[in-house]
Amino acid sequence: MKAVFVGAGKVGFELARRLGIEGHDVVVIDHDSVALREVEENLDVMVVHGSGTSSKLLKQVGVQDAGLFVAVTESDEVNMVACMTAKHLGIPLTVARIRNHEAGLVSNGGLTYKDFGIDRVINAEEAVAYEITKLLKSPAATDVEYFADGKVQMLGFRVQEGSVLAGKTVKDARLTHATIGAILRNGDVIVPHGDTTIATRDEILVIGKTGVPTEAGWLTGSPDQVIRDITILGGGTIGYLIARFTERHRGRGLSVKIIERDQARCEILARDLKHTLVIQGDGINPEILEEEDVGSSGAFIAVTGGDQTNLLAGFMAKRLGNRKVIAELQREEYQPIASSMGLDVTVTPRVIVASTILRLISKAKVASLALLKDGSLEVLELVVAPGCRVCSKPLKALDLPREVTVGAVIRGNQVIVPRGDTVPMPGDHMVIFTLPALVPALETFFVPKGKT
C-alpha cells in the first residue's frame, strides 16, 4: 500500500519508519529540509520538499494512488487543509493530528471533521495523558493495556529479587489464569516459550481476563499499593490533562499538585483546575523537590516536553524515595539511560500515535493494536475471519512464526487462556504478541482465502 505523510517531525518519522518496516510504499512531504534530510538518511522512503497543502505537489507524488494520507505537522490548520486537499483528490483514508479541538469552525458552526475531509483525528498529547492515567490505576505495573472492549488486560511487572518466578521457566511458572506474552531483558524483547527462563530484573508482560493479571504482581514481588497523591512536573497540555483526570476521581482520596516554571501558565492552570495545587518553580531544583516532599508522593510524573529535564527530575525524585516515577521521552535512545537511572516507566508520544495509525492499515481485521517498548514489540487484537488459516484448527497445528505468542482468545464474553489444543472459531478475537517485522506474515493467517 502507498502511504503519504505530511510532516517529517518526530511523529511523521516514526510512522514512516514503522510502515517502511512493514514493506509499504512511503512518501514523506515537508518544507523543512533539515527534517527531511534526517528521514532520507535513516529511512528507505521517498522524501519531497514542499507544502503538503499544494494539490499540484500532491498530484506530482501520485497521492491519488495512495491508500492512506496522514498530516502530522505542528500546525492544526495545515493538517486540516492538507487532508481536505487529499480527500478532494480521492484519498480513501485521511488522518490529521489536531491539538486544539476547538480550532476553526469545527466547534462553532456545527461542522464535523468529516466536513473537512478528515476521516480520523489523532492527538498525541491526549494519548500520552491517557496512557499515564492507566498506569496510575495499577501502581505496580510498568505497562497497562486493555483489549476486547476492556475484557482483557495486559500488565507489565518487573521481577524483583527473591521473586518466586525468578529462575523458573515459563512452563514451571504455572500461570493457569493468565499468559506470559513477552519478556523484556536488558533492552531486548523475548517472545517466550515453555522452556524460556525468567530472570531477576526481567520485565514480564502478563495477559488475561481483566483483574487476573494483577495477581502476577505478587509473584514478581511488586507491591501493589493504591496511589493517593501525585506530583506532576510540567503544566503543559499533558500535565493539565492528567490533573483534570485526577480531579474527577478526588472522591477516592486522590490529590494532585503541578510544578510549573512559567508564571503565566501557572495562572491559567490555577484558574482552570479547581482542585489541583499549582506551584510556580523550577522542577529540577532539588530544594523545591524536597520542599514539596516529592519523595513521599505516591507518583512523580515528568512531562515538561524536554527529555533531559524529565530524566534529571525523575532521577532526583527516585533518589528522594518516590516509588513510582513516570517520564515522557521524545527520543527512544534515552530509554537505556532512563532504566539505568531507576525510572519506573517511560512513555513516547510518537510510538503511541503510530499504534493508532498501524491499526487503520492492516490487511487483517484488527480490533486494537499496541506498540510497546518504543515499538520493538507489537500486541495485536485480531478477529478470526471465516476461512482464514487460523480458523477451526488447534493452535499447535498452526505454523505460526516462532516469535509469536497467542496471549488470549476471546469468544463472546468468555476469555480463554490459550493452550495447544485451543481451536479458534470464526468471530473470535485473538490477542497476539509479536515482533514488528513478523506482522505482515502474521496477518496472512487472518485474511480469508482469496483476499491475501
pLDDT of amino acid 430: 96
Q: Which residues pair with 180 in a beta bridge?
A: 206
Where exactly does CATH 3.40.50.720 map onto the chain? 2-122, 229-323
Q: What confidence tens digit (pLDDT) does each residue in 272-291 have?
A: 999 999 999 999 999 999 99
- Domain 128-220 is classified in which CATH homologous superfamily? Regulator of K+ conductance, C-terminal domain (3.30.70.1450)
**Residue 107, pLDDT above cutoff 70:** no
pLDDT of amino acid 122: 86
pLDDT of amino acid 230: 93
Bigger pLDDT: 360 or 150?
Answer: 150
For 210-276, strand residue ranges (E) read 229-233, 255-260
CA distance 414 to 202: 30
Sign of the alpha-carbon torsion through 417, 419, 425, 429: positive
CA distance 411 to 395: 15
Record the cell numbers describing residue 11, joined without a space: 511523529
What is the mean pLDDT of the segment spanning 399-426? 94
**Residue 154, pLDDT above cutoff 70:** yes
**Residue 103, pLDDT above cutoff 60:** no
Q: What confidence tens digit (pLDDT) does each residue in 383-401 have?
A: 999 999 999 999 999 999 9
CA distance 49 to 90: 22
CB 55: neighbour CB atoms within 10 A?
12
**Residue 166, pLDDT above cutoff 50:** yes
Would you place residue 109 in the very low, low, confident or very high pLDDT band (cuts 50, 70, 90)? low
pLDDT of amino acid 271: 95
Amino acid code (one letter) for 90: G
Phi, psi of 86 (to 5 degrees): -65, -40
Residue whose entry in the numeric block shows the C-alpha cell 511488586:
222
For 330-403, strand residue ranges (E) read 345-347, 366-372, 377-383
Radius of gyration of the chain (CA): 23
What is the mean pLDDT of the segment spanning 335-354? 87
Where exactly does CATH 3.30.70.1450 map onto the chain? 128-220, 351-443
CA distance 321 to 311: 16
- DSSP letters for 173-191: H--SSEEEEEEEETTEEE-
CATH class of 229-323: alpha beta
**CATH 3.40.50.300 applies to domain 2-122:** no
| % of the chain residues with pLDDT over 70 | 94
What is the mean pLDDT of the segment spanning 257-277? 95
CA-based nearest residue to 95, from 52, 137, 59? 52
pLDDT of amino acid 176: 87
Record the cell numbers describing residue 358, joined without a space: 498501524
- Domain 351-443 is classified in which CATH homologous superfamily? Regulator of K+ conductance, C-terminal domain (3.30.70.1450)
pLDDT of amino acid 71: 95
Amino acid code (one letter) for 193: H
Would you place residue 451 in the very low, low, confident or very high pLDDT band (cuts 50, 70, 90)? low
Least confident residue range of 16-25, 53-62, 187-196: 16-25
Would you place residue 336 in the very low, low, confident or very high pLDDT band (cuts 50, 70, 90)? confident
CA distance 145 to 154: 5
Would you place residue 104 in the very low, low, confident or very high pLDDT band (cuts 50, 70, 90)? very low
What is the mean pLDDT of the segment spanning 117-135? 89
**Residue 58, pLDDT above cutoff 90:** yes
Task: Give the DSSP H or E segment for 46.
Answer: strand 46-49
Would you place residue 99 in the very low, low, confident or very high pLDDT band (cuts 50, 70, 90)? confident
CA distance 331 to 260: 22
Mean pLDDT value across the chain: 89
CA distance 37 to 86: 24
pLDDT of amino acid 87: 95
Residue whose entry in the numeric block shows the C-alpha cell 519523595:
295
Q: Assign 241 to helix, strand or coil.
A: helix
CA distance 407 to 167: 22
The answer to whether the predicted template modeling score (pTM) of the entire model surpasses 0.75 is yes
pLDDT of amino acid 105: 47
CA distance 328 to 75: 22
